[in-house]
Every structure is written in structure tokens, then in C-alpha cells.
Structure 1
Amino acid sequence: MKSDDQARREAKPAPTENVRLVVSDMDGTLLTPKKQVTPATLAAIGQLREAGVPVCLVSSRPPPGISMYFEALGLKTPYAGLNGAIVFDAEGRTVSSLALPQDALRDALDMLNVHGVDAWLFCGSDWIVGDVTGAYVQHEQAAIRVEPIVASEGFDPWLDKVGKLAGSSSDYDLLARLEGEIGALLEGRAHVARSSPYYLDITPEQATKGYALKQLAGMFGIAPHEVACLGDMRNDIAMFEVAGLSIAMGNATDEVASYAHVRTASNEDEGWARAIETYVLPRVAGAKGSSS
């Protein structure tokens, strides 16, 4: 009997033969485990630029945690933060902004609190925490270079403008279980997916990376089936399902990878650059090495 992963992979439509846009996740994908960009990745972005293929970033990060890499990457393209809850054009102007319904937000906060999971709110570029000494606060601050706002009297002042609620915990199994339980509780009201083993992201129902990919492609007049995307976590599955070419990183789980067309090396082994060279550039008309 076929496994669910095998059946899913075999049922997936064939990948596109024409790529005009690349949409990429950041952590675990474009960035190394030390949150760095390698020379090989920069060279691959340069090859795409020469071939006329834009690269857009879509991440669970808040906007400042994405734009901080633009200069190093040489990018000035539209991008999406908070898993698609906020989308910007190339000039940094907000194109789309979504907020969690307050009833869904309160239900999720109650669930996280019952299980002792630290809750964070993301409202545009603001990051609000209840406890600045939480286990992953310092880690997140180093990654996104945003100073958290401490909600010493509770989250109520922000509840009408939350683009993402994140639960953070060192109990990976607990977060995996809560992904299913909170997902069932909020079905039809919010999208629930882990963005790392230690982060559980809860966003507006429409705010997924699949939604973001469609928004970004639309700004260029490009259809989703002409987009290649790269990712590594469960929150990337939504864009794997709509892109014409979906590429899972080698560090992705087998389940996540089963939603993608192909799998590359890990983010510790130049997986992003290898994917561009092996799978994307041969599908770009006029690119060096293209079969078109």
C-alpha cells in the first residue's frame, strides 16, 4: 500500500516548463542556519536577474525582518510578511493587509495559555510579547532585529490589528499536536501551521504563502503556474500547492517534501543555489543552460 506521502507526490501535476518568477521562503531555505546568505546564493540570484526573472521573498517574519536583507541580496522587489498577512510592492507600500478575527484570536490565546506556550502578536512591523524573558524572545530578536513591545497589562490594545499570532515553545511535540488541535478549533476562521519546530503561526484564514505567491505574481502579470517557489516548513505547503514548480529543501520533512515537485539539498549544503541551477534556470527562456 502506498504511503500518504507517496500517493500525494504521484498525484501532483507535472511541473511547469516555463518559469518567469521565483518566490522564496527565507529561514531554512534562502538563509543558512546562521541566518546568512552564501556567495553561491548571491550568484544564483544574479543569474536569475540577468535572465529577467525577479526573486520575491515571502516569510513568516515581520516586514523589518525581511527588508533587512534586501541590500545584501540586491533585491528591490515586492515581498510578503507574516505568512502573507501583509504584502508590499517594490517601493515598500502596503498592497494587502489582513487581520485575525478577534474571536479566533482569543480562542487561540486561551489554548496557548492552557498549555504554557508563549504567545506573541505581530501587528504590521510591531512585535508584542507578554514576557520578555520567554525562551525564544532573544533568539527571535537577533533574527529579525526588532525590539519587542512588552504587553505588561495584556494584549487587549492590539487585538483588532493582529496579522499573526505565534506560539513559541521548546516542546516540539506539543506544538505539533497543537497545530492539529488549534487548526481544528479555528477551522474556517484562521490558518494554522508551524513555521519552525519551535514556532506555531496562526494567521487570518486567507493569509497563507499561497495567497502571497498569487499576490506577488499578479504584480508582474505572471500566472501562478509560471512561478517557482522554494521552502522547507509546513507553512510553505500552501505555496507548493499553487506554484508551477515547487522545490522543497533537503532539510524539509518527508511529509512537507511530498507536497513539492522536487527536492534539493539542505540549507547547510547550498540547496537554494543548487535548486536554481538544476531546476529553475533550465526552465527560463533565454537563460544560459536553458533548453528553451
Structure 2
Amino acid sequence: MIQHIFLDMDNTLLSPDGSISPKNISVIQNSSIPVSLVSARAPFEMQFAIDELNLQTTQVAFNGGLIYKPQTNGYQQLYSQAIDPQTVKKIMTIVHQNFPKVSLNWYSDHTWYTDKNCQETDAETAITHEKPVIQKTSANLTQTIYKFMVMSFDPILFDRLQNYLKQLDLPDLNVMTSGDAYIEITPISATKANAVAHIQKEEHLKIDQLAAFGDGENDIPMFKHVGLPIAVANASQEVKQYAKFVSTSNREDGVANGIERHILKK
């Protein structure tokens, strides 16, 4: 019997406009099974969902780089793995020099930074309802950085960027695509699987008592660490290969339908 559900946010729990459908809210709130969001987002970008779903459980940001428990004023940090400051500067220099037209973004736990406003950052603001702080890549960094997100709506440029980053010697980092225009860079130990394992140990659960929903490449490690991996219909074929079931899409209440059909009816 499933004792904990883990949910990816973008393109899984969230509709294309970044909202949570009424049915998803209703099914999650009325289920007695604990739910954790496991997202590439920063905590401040996750908070609206935590509030709407009334979640009291441990949550996961930055693909596992930050595990925390929400509190009335902020959160209690349970695990943290940021990017080494020297590596932060290296990534900034490489991307800025070789791909000046892409959108380079970096995140602390409280702030989204970018090198420039552009159509990609405007689109991200439309989804997250957050606005970035413009900062030069040459600026002296004092913040702890958990994630880079590099974006381009130019498919040719995006493919070049993706191939270039994945061929770099970055042994301490994960470089993963998210959708058709996003590349996320996080510490190698910051994975959704490690985050799920942390919560599993905290709650003394077995793998076959865990379920997860996802759509993207960064969800595959999480799928491998749960007994019931469920992909939404809009997931890539690669992700679907690791799923036990495929639900409806994120446009069609995929999480709610998956919970009703494959978890609550068990």
C-alpha cells in the first residue's frame, strides 16, 4: 500500500499556465496519503503550491539540492547541497563567452538571478509569477547558488548548447534537460532519487510504499527509487519507459487521475 506520494511540479502537477487544476487540488487534499513536491524550482517558487495543497510534509527543491520542511515564517532546512563557488564562476564564464544569446539564470534559496531580460525570462515569469534580479556575470557573488537554468527558444541554438554543456568536464554537476528549452545544472549529489531516499528513511518506509509522478529526464532517478512510478501522458518516451503506468496529461488532471486509478483503488 502506498504511504507517500512524490510529485514533480512543472509539466506534471502544474497545468501549462503554471496553475494547479481544481481536480488536482481536490484529490490531493482529500487523500490521507502524505505528498511531497520534488521540484527543480526554488522554495519561493514552490510556496504557492504548498499553500494551495495545504502540505505540511517535507518538500524538495532544486532537484534534491535542498530538502526542507515549510514553517509559518520560512522553512526548516533538513539537507543542503549548493554548487561550489568556483564552479559557479566557471559556468557563468563558459556560457556567457560561448553562448551570449542564451538566457543564463542562477538561483539562491530566496532569489532568481539572470544576466538579462528576454523572451525566455518573460515566459518563465508568466509561469512562476516571479521576477528575476538582473546581475552581471562579472559581479562578485556573495550568495549560495543551488542551480543554474539556461534557456533558449531557438531549437538549433538549444541543441548546440546542450551538446556543448554535456561534453564539458563537469564531474561534480548534473546537466539535465527539462522540456524543449531548459537545461538545469545542479550538484551531482542533488538528485530526486537521493531526496526521495532521505524522506523514505525519515519515515521508515519501503520502496514499494512510495509512488511518484513525473514527465522529464530529471524524474527518471526518482522513478527508479519508488515502487509505483507514474508518468503523465505528455512525458517523453524515455520517461514513459521507466513508468509502471501512464496517466492523462498535465492538461487533463494527470496527477489526480493517476492517484484515483492507480493508488486509491489499490
TM-score, normalized by length of structure 2?
Answer: 0.89
CA distance in 1, matches of 2:255, 2:169: 34
Describe the shift of the 1:208–1:152 C-alpha distance in structure 2 as closer, same or farther (beyond 3 A): same
Distance in 1 between the 2:256 and 2:109 partners? Answer: 31
**Could you say which residue in structure 1 is the equivalent of 2:145?**
162
Secondary structure, counterpart of 1:121 in structure 2:
strand
Among all aligned residue pairs of Structure 1 and Structure 2, give the percentage whose two residues are the same amino acid: 27
> Paired residue for 1:44?
27
Matches within 5 A, 1:81-100: 81-91=61-71, 92-100=75-83
Q: Give the letter aligned to residue 65 of structure 2.
A: A
Question: Where in structure 2 are there 5+ consecutive unaligned residues?
Answer: none
Do residues 119 (structure 1) and 104 (structure 2) align?
Answer: yes
Asked if structure 2 preserves the Cα contact closer than 8 Å seen for 1:56 and 1:216, the reply is no
Q: Deviations over 1:201-233 (max 9, x none)?
A: 000111111122222333322234421000111
Q: Which residue type is aligned with residue 40 of structure 1? A: K
Query: Which consecutive aligned stretches of 4+ in structure 1 deviate over 4 angstroms post-superposition?
Result: none
Equivalent residue number for residue 122 of structure 2: 138
Q: Which amino acid aligns with 1:189?
A: D
Q: State the match for 1:79 in structure 2.
A: 59
Question: Residue 97 of structure 1 aligns to which amino acid in structure 2?
Answer: S
The counterpart of 1:279, out of the listed 251, 258, 262, is 262
Q: How far apart are 1:155 and its partner, in Å?
A: 4.4
1:23 positional shift:
0.3
Name the CA distance, whole Å, in 2 between partners of 1:111 and 1:82.
22
Deviating more after overlay: 63-72 vs 140-149: 140-149
Q: Residues 233 and 147 (structure 1 numbering): CA distance in 2 closer, same or farther, change over 3 Å? A: same
Q: Of residues 184, 194, 199 in structure 2, which corresponds to 1:216?
A: 199
SS at 1:71's partner residue? helix
The Cα shift of 1:134 comes to 2.0
Give the secondary-structure state (helix, strand or coil) at the position aligned to 2:141: helix
Inter-partner Cα distance in structure 1 for 2:115 and 2:67: 26
**Equivalent residue for 1:270, pick from 228, 253, 260:** 253
Which of 52, 65, 68 is residue 48 of structure 2 equivalent to? 68
The 3-state SS of whatever aligns with 1:206 is: coil
Conserved? CA contact 2:92–2:137, under 8 Å: no
Task: Find the aligned partners of 1:153 and 1:34 in 2 and give their Cα distance.
Answer: 30
Superposition pairs of residues 223-262 of structure 1, within 5 angstroms: 223-262=206-245
Query: Aligned to 1:252, what secondary structure does the other structure show?
Result: coil
How has the CA–CA distance of structure 1 residues 36 and 188 changed in structure 2, closer, same or farther, with 3 Å as cutoff?
Answer: same
**3-state DSSP of counterpart to 2:60:** strand
**Which stretches in structure 1 are left out of the alignment for 5+ residues?**
1-17, 283-289
Question: Which residue of the other structure, out of 32, 36, 39, is the alignment partner of 2:15?
Answer: 32
1:230 is paired with a residue of what secondary structure?
strand
Q: Residue 256 and residue 121 in structure 1: after superposition, are their counterparts in 2 closer, same or farther (change >3 A)?
A: same
| Match of residue 7 from structure 1 | none
Give SS of 2:195's match: helix
Root mean square deviation, CA, Å: 2.1
Q: Which SS does the other structure have where 1:68 is aligned?
A: helix
The answer (yes or no) to whether the contact 2:4–2:209 under 8 Å persists in 1 is yes
For 1:12, the equivalent position in structure 2 comes to none
SS class of match (1:69) = helix
8 Å contact kept, 1:108–1:182: no
Secondary structure of 1:191's partner?
strand
Matches within 5 A, 1:8-23: 18-23=1-6
Is contact 2:113-2:134 (8 Å) kept?
yes
SS of the aligned residue for 2:31 comes to helix
Distance 2:27 2:169 in 1: 40
- Residues 8-48 of structure 1: CA distance to partner in whole angstroms, max 9, x if unpaired? xxxxxxxxxx3110000111111111222222212321342
Q: Structure 1, residues 70-129: CA drift from partner, whole Å, max 9, x if none?
A: 222122211111111111024321111111124443443344221232211101121111
Q: Tell me the secondary structure at the aligned position of residue 119 of structure 2.
A: coil
Select between 70-79 and 242-251 the one with higher mean Cα deviation: 70-79
**1:285 equivalent in structure 2:** none
State the TM-score, normalized to the length of structure 1: 0.82
